[in-house]
Amino acid sequence: MAFIVRKPLIEDFDQINLIGRWFQENSLYTTCGWSDEKSLRWVVEGTYPDSNTFMRVVESEGQIVGFFLGHITEYFFSTKQIAQDLVMVFLPQKRAGIIKPTIKMLKEFEAWAVDKGAHEICIGITSGIAGPGYEQLIKRIGYREVGSVMKKEV
C-alpha cells in the first residue's frame, strides 16, 4: 500500500473530521465530546502557510487514512516558542506500513518548527490508543522521555 503525505485541502475536511471523531470516540477522550466547527477551524488553519498550525494528511488509494496536527506557541514563562503535537492518528485498519509516513510527518513538523523559531519540540502520547511501536519510533528519531502525564477526569 503506497502512502502520500501532503498538506491538507479544505476538501479533505469530511475525511479528516471522520478520522478525528473516530479518535475522540475510541480514546481516553471519549467523554470530551466533538465539535465539527472546531475541527474545521484546525483544518482551515492547517492550510495556511503562515499559520501557527501544522497539519499533514496521509493518503492511500485516494482515501485519507491518517493525519498529524501540531502547533507552536510561546511558553507561559518566556517569549521563546514551543512546538507541540496535538494528535497523530491513523485508522486502525490502515496502520500496516505507516512507519515511513509517520517519520515523514514528524520530520516535516520538526523542519516547520525550526523555520518558525521553536526553542524545542514536544511530542506526546496521551490518548491510550497509540500503536505499540509509536513510543519507540519517537525515541528512535531523537526524542527523549522527560516526564510523565497524569490524568484525572472530573
Look at residue 115 and tell me whether its pLDDT is greater than 80: yes
Q: What is the side-by-side order of every strand in the sheet holding 4-6?
A: 4-6, 53-60, 63-74, 81-90, 118-122
Separation of first and last alpha carbons in the chain: 42
Strand-pairing partners, residue 87, are 69
Residue 149: its pLDDT value, please?
A: 86
Residue 1: its pLDDT value, please?
A: 67
Question: Which helix (H) or strand (E) segment is 110 a member of?
Answer: helix 99-115
Per CATH, the architecture of 4-140 is what?
3-Layer(aba) Sandwich (3.40)
Look at residue 89 and tell me whether its pLDDT is greater than 70: yes
Look at residue 52 and tell me whether its pLDDT is greater than 80: yes
